[in-house]
Structure 1
Amino acid sequence: MYLQHFGLKESPFSITPDTSFYFASNSYKEALSTLLFAITSGEGFIKITGEVGTGKTLLCRKLMSSLDENFKVAYVPNPYLEPQSLLMVLADELGITLPNTVTQHLLLKALNLELLRFARAGIKVVVCLDEVQAMPIETLEALRLLSNLETEKRKLIQVVIFGQPELEEKLNQPSIRQLKQRITFDYLLDRLTRDEMQYYLNHRLVVAGYQGSRMFSNIALYIMYLKSKGVPRLVNILAHKALLATYGKGKKEVGAREVFAAAADTKSVESIGKKGFALILILVTLIIVLTGILLAYPSIYSNYF
């Protein structure tokens, strides 16, 4: 492994969501602020969508870790649940002990009693559901019915749903139009900008213990952005593979060749195409030529820079 070679304490580019590596891009900051405001305001339904790999699960975990003891969070990562299975998962998350055999009616009654107990204690219950675009329509409807539980002053349960853009198509179906009408806050996660990607890479390296000089060359960063389109998961995959390639060559700085090798080994990235390659070649050539001129005529640098 390359950890010792680069002076790292842990892998900086794991694709497992880890809140210790959370990077507050503009989109992430806005999304988290929206979530916290909506939840503290007592809003019923909140929706966060984003393309595959944009960090929805990490944002969900960051949200959960940001809520204090005045909140009870139930996390449902598995969307492939039938209505009764969802209710049983929620009961388990809320610490409700159930008999071996239980009807949906008794489940709802037990959940209602527990939610009332939390409300009397001044605790807000928040349910976070991931990958909701894959959840059955019937289960989404059961979730809506569960959200009907309320006191005279506020909802007994708040729901935050995370999903891919296809979730919008599902919510447009007539059978669950009432659920869509209940969504009071809706946010679409953006990809990283080119500058944010560079800060993102540096941030993860520092968190992983890196204290050396610049890890990625400018050309390497340019190619990585072209290949990843700023999708954090793809950035992590390419960066990890590029570090492996760099380590294999005994180098300390990741260059263009290592990123190209990483991209060639990753099916989920798009091809740059002929125009992209031509532009990169021009940039590399210009850098080499300018570097050669400055080395040959150092007075040029001192006179103009």
Structure 2
Amino acid sequence: IGTGKTLMLRLMMDDLPDRFETALILSPHLSRLELLLAIFQDIGLPIPTDNTASLDSLLRILNDHLYALAQQGKKLLIVIDEAQNLPDESLEQLRLLSNFETDTQKLLQIVLFGQPELRDKLAQNNMRQLAQRVSIMETLSPLSKQEMVSYILHRFKKSGVYEMPRSFATTDLLWRFTKGYPRLINKIMSRTLLVAYAEKETRISRKIVREAIASLNTPKQKGRFSTLALRWATGFLLLLLLFWGVAFSPLRLTNTISIDRQAISGWIAQGAAWTTSLGEDGERALASWHEQGLAWLNGLINESSQPSQSPQTLPLPAPPSPPSPLPQEEKNDPAPAGEPVAESERLEYPSPFMRGPQ
């Protein structure tokens, strides 16, 4: 999703040689009959108007048309986007269409564009006959980190920014969030320019990019932040147990602690945002600490629930040590030779709103 398959489809359609007649299907929620009617409509074949069109009659008309194309040295190419949404009966109809051939050649070719669910559907047992006829199956992967940088710089050049920066220090932040998916890259970069314009900034900084990411509020970012907030909330509880010495009984807490809830919520949110800036290594460290903390907390509850003659002297298991609080991300980037660093969060980046020489 978001790797550019539909764009590739259109580029392919624009670059097809004249020997292909094309039928492009963009809405694949079609029955067998509706699929044939959509093909007829796209290639301009007449459709019976007496409401007596059947699968057999349409297939005969299509077969005659394909033979006529073959006489002209042409072939029909059926292209279907979002093919994972095709019903099984329509996929079976496509398999039957692939049987149209002469003694020397196929009369049509079929290209399916779809999301990963299409591969899963073709792997099903009832689709094995169709899968056996697939000669080429390719997966369009996200961009690598270097490809992402090249893509962004290419877009800047196309927009008129001819002086490229020597260091694009927001690369890691963009890569962690987008994982190389062009659709997310486009959304974040467009929003970044909008945020920079709204704040009257002429340089792109990490702060601007973070604000752009936060303003998008995509499900991926929201879910990831919620998970981190839960881990930090657990960490905060462990710190309370450690510093205030709260002891559990089966029915109640022996000590009551009054804490500013708003301050706690702010601390948890800041901790989650801080962990996001650490990257995958920081998240793994916090996840490990989270699991150890839960195990320690469960052990504490189990120990306190056991009957004891001296509950005041109940030995407590040692809590786990939290990960190092120093994020590597926040270290200042080395300044290029001969150039000072104005702010730790500011990058020396040419204005995206200044056009180069024409």
The TM-score, its normalising length taken from structure 2, stands at: 0.63
Aligned-partner SS, 1:219: coil
Q: Which residue of 1 aligns with 2:257?
A: none
1:126 partner SS: strand
Q: Residue by residue, what CA displacement relative to the aligned partner does 1:249-304 show, whole Å, maximum 9, x if unpaired?
A: 2223322122211211231444486554136953442316x5799649xxxxxxxx
Q: Which ranges in structure 2 are unaligned for 5 or more consecutive residues?
A: 226-271, 280-325, 342-358
Residues 253 and 124 from structure 1, CA distance in 2 versus in 1: closer, same or farther, beyond 3 angstroms? farther
Partner of 2:47: 98
* Number of aligned residues: 243
Aligned with 1:71 (options 20, 31, 50) = 20
2:125 is aligned with 1:174: yes
* Whole-Å separation in 2 of the counterparts to 1:242 and 1:225: 15
Matches within 5 A, 1:212-291: 212-214=162-164, 218-266=168-216, 267-270=218-221, 271=224, 274-278=274-278, 282-287=328-333, 290=335
Higher Cα Rg: structure 1 or 2?
Answer: 2
Query: AA paired with 1:282?
Result: Q
Structure 1 residues 276, 111: closer, same or farther in 2, change over 3 A?
Answer: same
C-alpha change, 1:269 and 1:237, in structure 2 (3 Å) is farther
Q: CA deviation at 1:247?
A: 1.2
Tell me which protein shows more strand as a share of its residues. 1
Say if 2:277 and 2:329, in contact at 8 Å, map to a contact too: no
Report the Cα offset of residue 122 of structure 1: 0.6
Q: How far apart in 2 are the matches of 1:189 and 1:278?
A: 29
One-letter amino acid of the counterpart of residue 277, structure 1 = S
3-state SS of 1:125 partner: strand
Task: Work out which structure has the larger RCO, using CA pairs closer than 8 Å and 6 or more positions apart in sequence.
Answer: 1
In the alignment, is the contact (CA less than 8 A) between 2:156 and 2:162 conserved in 1?
Answer: no
- After TM superposition, the structure 1 = structure 2 runs for residues 22-171 of structure 1, keeping only pairs within 5 Å, are 52-100=1-49, 101=51, 102-171=53-122
Which stretch shifts more, 179-188 or 194-203? 194-203
Q: Which moved more, 1:263-272 or 1:63-72?
A: 263-272
Q: Residue deviations 1:127-160, cap 9 Å, x none? A: 1111111110001001111111111111111011
Say if 1:204 and 1:73 are closer, same or farther in 2 by CA, change over 3 A: farther
Contact kept? 1:76, 1:128, Cα under 8 Å: yes
| One-letter amino acid of the counterpart of residue 79, structure 1 | P
**Judging changes above 3 Å, is the alpha-carbon distance between structure 1 residues 111 and 155 closer, same or farther for their aligned structure 2 residues?**
same
CA displacement at 1:225 relative to structure 2: 1.2
Q: Distance in 1 between matches of 2:63 and 2:124?
A: 28
SS in 2 for 1:226: helix
Residue identity opposite 1:182 in structure 2? R
Structure 1 residue aligned with 2:143, among 192, 198, 209?
Answer: 192
Report deviation, 1:173: 2.3
SS in 2 for 1:185: coil
Query: Residues 86 and 139 of structure 1 are in contact (CA less than 8 Å); yes or no, is this contact kept in structure 2?
Result: yes
- SS of the equivalent of 2:333 reads helix
Displacement of 1:172 in angstroms is 2.2
What is the letter of the counterpart of residue 235 of structure 1? I
In structure 2, do the counterparts of structure 1 residues 157 and 167 end up closer, same or farther at CA, with 3 Å as the change threshold? same
User: Deviation string for 1:38-72 (max 9, x for gaps)?
Assistant: xxxxxxxxxxxxxx111111111111111121111
CA distance in 1, matches of 2:332, 2:339: 12
Distance 1:150 1:162 in 2: 23
Distance 1:259 1:295 in 2: 22
In structure 1, what is the equivalent of residue 160 of structure 2? 210
SS class of match (2:60): helix
> For the structure 1 residues 216 and 66, does the alpha-carbon distance in structure 2 shift closer, same or farther, using more than 3 Å as the test?
farther
Q: Distance in 1 between matches of 2:179 and 2:46?
A: 47
- TM-score, normalised with respect to structure 1: 0.73
CA positional deviation for 1:108: 0.7
Q: Distance in 2 between matches of 1:223 and 1:59?
A: 27
Q: Which stretch has the larger CA shift, 269-278 or 104-113?
A: 269-278
Q: Greater shift after overlay, 233-242 or 100-109? A: 100-109
Cα–Cα, structure 1 residues 268 and 193, in superposed 2: closer, same or farther, change >3 Å? farther
- The answer to whether the 8 A contact 1:80-1:135 is kept is yes
State the partner residue of 1:9: none
Q: Percent identity?
A: 32
Q: In structure 2, the residue corresponding to 1:213 is in which secondary structure?
A: coil
C-alpha RMSD of matched pairs (Å): 2.5
